[in-house]
Every structure is written in structure tokens, then in C-alpha cells.
Structure 1
Amino acid sequence: MLISIQALRALAAWTVVCHHFMQIFFDFHPQGPIGEFFSTRGQVGVDLFFVISGLVIYLSTHDKPQPPRRFLLNRALRIVPAYWFYTALMGLLLISAGAYMPHGEVSWPTFLLSLLFIPAENPGGYGLYPTLNVGWTLNYEMFFYLVFSLVFLVPRRFRPLLVAGVLFVIVEGVTHWGGLSRFYANNIVYEFVLGIGLGVAWRRGWVRSGRYWPLALIVLGAVTIYRLEPNNRLLDWGLPCALIVLGCLALEPWFQHSRWLKALGDRSYSVYLVHLLVLYAGYFMTQQWGVGPYWVFFGFCVPAIACVSWLSYELLEKRLYQRMKAWALRKPGQVAVPLA
């Protein structure tokens, strides 16, 4: 477990939280430089997620040969239950209190397609977003897992090239020929390949630990993100994010004994899933009770997101995942052993 990457995963999640706070409460009309940063740059947390995802999936499967079906099942058990749960909650919220919410509508076709990770036009008319809006990134994640599952069919040394080649054919060819949704004609998916490349470098010992040069890389990546508009998402934000991830890898010896950073990273997926629901609740408070948005954010939303994500991780992500994995991977005739 790379603690530095866990810390970066937590930072990415909370950056997205701040971005959506600016969207829901201020409609991206920032007040001050910090608000402007999170309004215009907060979505870079997604690019960090994608680079990290490629890195983690490569490292976690490098020495674990397995059938593609087993890999996909394991990833589905890890991702799906919590996502379906919060998608259902968001659907209920949109049905019962949609009139009080600043964004989003729901319909049965969109809801069902959301559960299946199939991109579809949101009935609100603002793009290819599922019922739980942040799920658009999970559509890319599941697509990446599907492509990555092919690597177990070829020798280890060919795996990064296979993933890169298949993604290139799909993004630059299949989507333009009409064989797949235009949603996938986005070079943001190559950020997974950047993560795989970093994983290869880490496994081969090419990433040397240090202090000053990794910090310089992180600063360079952050300044580049701050200065560049994402006209080309891969080049303007993807590559700088890869530099930040590389810098954190090189700083791993300084992070590796931090339990609280690991805990923050462990809960980042739940933070990502629950934060919109909490922010909408906070927005309702500002509209009904006239309290200030920043007071609501720091006094209610941040503590609520932290608490709910902790419960979500313990109950949905960890405990339910362990039970479902034990059940799904149990051999025929084998008696399930109760988990403590």
C-alpha cells in the first residue's frame, strides 16, 4: 500500500468536493482567488483519480495472474454496491425534492442506464451525466477495467502496450466510426495509461526516493495546472497530474508510516460518492434558513461528508465487499465462513 498515493487520492476527492461546492452554491461565480481556483480548476481531481487508478490497478495485478472474469468480478464488487446505493438515494432525492435542488432531473431510462454504467443524456439537458452526476467518471473507470481485463491474456511485458493500443483504437477509431458512444472519444482515458507507465517505472526501480526533486516536480505540475486551461485535457492537466503522482511516489518513504493519511485515502471513494447528497442538503439549508454558504459548508457539509464517508467505507465498501467477495468466489459446495 503506497501511503503517498492514498494521501493524494484523498486530496483529489476533497478538491472535487470544493469544486462542486462552488457549482451548487455559487454557480461557478467565484468570490476571491480560492473560489476562482476551485471553480475553474477543481475538476482536476478527476485527472488525478484517473492517473492514480491506472497506477494502482497495474501494481495490484502485476504479480497476480487471474482470469479476466475474476478481475472484472472483483472490481465490480468493489465499485458497484456503494455506487448503486448512492445512485438510488440521489434518484429518491430528485423525485421527492427536485424542485428545491439547483441541478438535475431523473427518469427511469437514465436511472437504469446509470446503474449499468452506460452513458446517456441526462434528462436535465446538460450532457452525458448519470443520475448521480459524479458517476460519469465511473463510466470511464468501468470502461478502463474492461479494457484492462485483456492483459491477462498476454505475457506480462506486452500488457501496457496492449492497453494503450486498445484504448487508442477505441478512442480514435471506433467512436468516430459510430461503433461506440461519443462519450469515449475523449483523450482523458489516456490518463489511465500514464498511471500504468508510472507503475512500470515504480516496479522496475526507476523512481528514486528523494526530497527536493520530487517537491520540484509536484510544484511544477501544480503551477502548470494553475496556468493552463484544459483545452487538451491530457496534455494540459493529465501530464502535470502524472508529474504530481511521480513526485508523491518518490516521497513515499516520508509517508509510509502515516495511518491517518492511509485512512483518508481509504475513504476517498465514499467521499466522492456522498458529497453531492450532503452539498444539496447544505444548499437547502441556505435557501430555507438564510444561513451563509461558507458557514454551511464548513459547519455542516465538511463534517457530514467526513462522518458519512467513514460509515460508508466501514459498512458498504469494506464489510459488504468482504461478504460479497467471499460469496462470489466461493467454490461450489463450499460452506461460507461467517466474517467477524
Structure 2
Amino acid sequence: MLISVQALRALAAWVVVCHHFMQIFFDFHATGPIGQFFTDKGAVGVDIFFVISGLVIYLSTQNKDMPAGRFMVNRIIRIVPAYWLYTAAMGLLILVAQPLMPHAAIDWTHFILSLLFIPSENPGGYGMYPTLNVGWTLNYEMLFYLLFSLVFLFEQRHRPLIVAAALFAVSEVLTRLGVISHFYRNDIVYEFLLGIAIGVFHRRGWIANGLWLPLLAIVGGLLTIYHLAPSDRLLHWGLPSAVIVLACVSLEPYFQGNRLLKVLGDCSYSVYLLHVLVLYGGWLAATRYGLNPYAVFAVCVPLIALGGWCSYQWIEKGLYLRLKDWLDKRRNDGELKALSRQEY
């Protein structure tokens, strides 16, 4: 993994944390320029995530051939355990604290659909959000993984085009025909392709290392995001996010060997999942005891960071490795039995 990309992924996660702090504590009614920035622009962390996801999945599967099912199983055991845990925790929080959270609601049908990454209207009535509301992005991620699994049926040089065609078919054709949910008719899905394109450029050596030009590109990308609303999300936020990711790849020599940035990037998925739980807990405490929101947020930040690290170590990494070893052992045992039958 490129350390520069890890650093950017960590930054994107914490930008989303600040965005949801403004939502949960202030209902997006900012009183200052910094709060207004995170209110209006904090959601761009998701766009950066999607571009990085396309880049990482492309690079991690290059020169590898595997059954589509194995690719999906690897992604599922990497993504699902933490998501299910925090979805269950959010469901429990809603049940316990619902009198103080009138906007939140839960029912079993929607909860099960959330666990299965099936988009459905939230019973709270505020859109197509799962029980753990940040999980809406994972519905797109799982779609991307499913479609990307198709590439292993084709030659490596055709794979980016196969993914692009599959995403277009789903987002522009199947949704309009009513075959799948209109939730997927969103140009944000094409941000995965921007990440794949960056991966192609990187593999071919087309991204030169540098300092000042990449820094200028990052500034340009940030200014574009700052001045444009996400009404046309792919163009206004997706492309500038891709420019920022590409510039960070160019800056990789300045990040290499930085273990702290690697750890922060490793923890970003868990930070993304659990931060809303910590923020809601902080909001409930602030509401009940009349605490200063910013003082509460100052306590929430280290709790989110520590919780993200523990979650990564014990759930994402630890459980993933155990499940992968177990599945590999079963697969090897099955291959040995099949070979024995053939010899017999």
C-alpha cells in the first residue's frame, strides 16, 4: 500500500468525522467559517474514499488470477464483520435512546436489509440510509466489488473496460429499467473508475515523482471542491478528488517509511464506521448534562482514534486473518481430497 494514499485515506476519514460532528451536534447549522466548511464540504471525504478504493482494488489484484467467488469472499470477510458489529451497536443505541433521538427509528426488515447491503428507505424517513447511516457508502462499495469480481473472467488488459461497462450497465440501464434500486443511479459510482485509471497510470510509470507540481495540484483540487457545490458530484467533487489522489501518489517518496501514517490509514475504515456511535454518545451526554459541544468533541476524538485502532487490530486484521486461514485450510483440504479421489 502506498503510504501517501494511506495518509490521504486517514485524512478523508477524519474530515467525515468533522462533517458528522456538525450534523449530530448542530444539525448542520454552523456558526463559524470552519464549521461551515465541514458542514458544506466535509462529505467530500467519501469521494476521496471511492477514488482510493478503485485504486487499491486495482493495484492489489494486478497479476493475480483467482475465482470471482474467492475475490468476493476475501472482500466480505474484510468488510462485513466490523460493519455488522457497528450496525448492531447502532441498532441497540436507537432502541435504548430513542426517546432522545426522535429522528432515529429501527425495524427488523430494514435492519436485516442493512446487514445484507440492500438499499431501502430508513424507517426514520430521511432517505435510503441503513441502520448505521454511514453504511450507505458500503452499499456502493459492495456493488463495486461484485462487478469487479467479473474481471477475473477476462484478460488483464481488458479488465478496466469490463468494470467500466458493468458499472454503466448497472447505473444507467438496469436502474432505469427498474431491475435494481434507483439508489445506484448515482454518478458517484464512477469515482471508482477514476481510482482504477490512476492505478493504470501508476502501473505504467506515467505518474512522475515530484513536489511542487503535486502540491499545486492538491491546492487546485481543494479550491475546486471549495468553490463548487456537489450538484454534479462526479465533475465537481469526484474529478478534483482524483487529482488529489494522483498528486499524493506522486508525493510518495516523501511519505515512504512513515509508520504513523500507515497506522492511521489502516484504522480509517474502523474510524469511519464507529465515529457516529461515539458522536451520538457524546451528543446524548452533552444534551443531558448541558456540556459544551466542542469540549465533548475534544473527548470524542481520542476515543474514536483509540477505538479505531483497537477495532482494526482485533476485528479487521485479527478476525480477517483467522477467517482467511480457516477458509484457506478448508480449500486446501478440499483440493487434497479431490486429488486423492482422482488418483484412486
TM over 0.5: yes
**8 Å Cα contact 2:122/2:128 also seen in 1:** yes
* Partner of residue 288, structure 1: 288
- The CA deviation at 1:63 is 1.7
The CA distance in 1 between the partners of 2:21 and 2:275, in whole Å, is: 9
Residues 157-306 of structure 1 aligned to structure 2 (within 5 Å): 157-298=157-298, 300-306=299-305
Residue 45 of structure 1 corresponds to which residue in structure 2?
45
| 2:307 alignment partner in structure 1 | 308
Q: Work out the number of aligned pairs and report it.
A: 334
Deviation of residue 316 (structure 1)? 0.4
Deviates more, 1:202-211 or 1:325-334: 325-334
* Off by >6 Å, runs of 4+ in structure 1: none
1:122–1:130 contact (8 Å) kept in structure 2: yes
Identity over aligned pairs, percent: 63
Q: Which amino acid aligns with 1:23?
A: Q
How far off its partner does 1:101 sit?
Answer: 2.7
- Worse-matched range after superposition: 52-61 or 88-97: 88-97
Q: Which amino acid aligns with 2:304?
A: I
The Cα shift of 1:172 comes to 1.1
One-letter identity of the residue aligned with 1:313 = Y
Are 1:67 and 1:152, in contact at CA under 8 Å, matched by a contact in 2?
A: yes
1:104 Cα deviation from its structure 2 partner:
2.0
Counterpart contact for 2:147–2:163, Cα < 8 Å: yes
- 8 A Cα contact 2:279 2:300, kept in partner: yes
- Kept after mapping to 1: 8 A contact 2:171/2:186: yes
Tell me: CA distance 1:64–1:103, structure 2 relative to 1, closer, same or farther (3 Å).
Answer: farther
CA deviations on 1:197-234 (whole Å, 9 max, x unpaired) are 00000000000000011001100100000000011110
- What is the alpha-carbon distance in structure 2 between the residues aligned to residue 136 and residue 277 of structure 1? 16
Q: How far, CA to CA, are the matches of 2:63 and 2:155 in structure 1?
A: 12
Superposed, which structure 2 residues align to 1:47-86 within 5 Å? 47-86=47-86
CA drift of 1:310 comes to 1.1
More deviation, 207-216/101-110: 101-110
Mapped partners of 1:283, 1:129: distance in 2: 20
**Structure 2 letter corresponding to 1:322:** L
1:321 aligns with 2:314: no
Given that 1:270 and 1:313 are in contact with CA atoms closer than 8 Å, whether structure 2 keeps it comes out as yes
RMSD: 1.1
Residue matched to 1:146: 146
* Contact 2:83–2:273 (Cα < 8 Å) also in 1: yes
Shift of 1:333: 7.3
3-state SS in 1 of match to 2:329:
coil
Higher helix share: 2
Name the aligned partner's letter for residue 303 of structure 1: P
User: Residue 333 and residue 19 in structure 1: after superposition, are their counterparts in 2 closer, same or farther (change >3 A)?
Assistant: closer
Which whole-Å CA distance do the structure 2 matches of 1:241 and 1:102 have between them?
A: 35
Partner residue of 2:340? none
- Residue of structure 1 equivalent to 2:339: none
Please state whether the residue corresponding to 1:329 is helix, strand or coil: helix
Secondary structure of the residue aligned to 2:314 is: helix
C-alpha separation in 2, matches of 1:318 and 1:180:
33
1:76-129 Cα offsets, whole Å, 9 max, x none, are 000000000000011111111122236421110010000000000000000000
Q: Please, what TM-score do these two structures have when normalized by structure 2?
A: 0.96
**2:278·2:304 contact (CA, 8 Å) conserved in 1?**
yes
Contact 1:101 1:280 in 2 (8 A): no
How many angstroms apart in 2 are the aligned matches of 1:159 and 1:317? Answer: 28
Q: Which moved more, 1:13-22 or 1:169-178?
A: 169-178
Indicate the SS of the match to 2:93: helix
Instruction: Answer yes or no: is the 8 Å Cα contact 1:24–1:102 preserved in 2.
Output: no
Tell me, yes or no, if the aligned pair for 2:63 and 2:156 is still in contact at 8 Å.
Answer: no
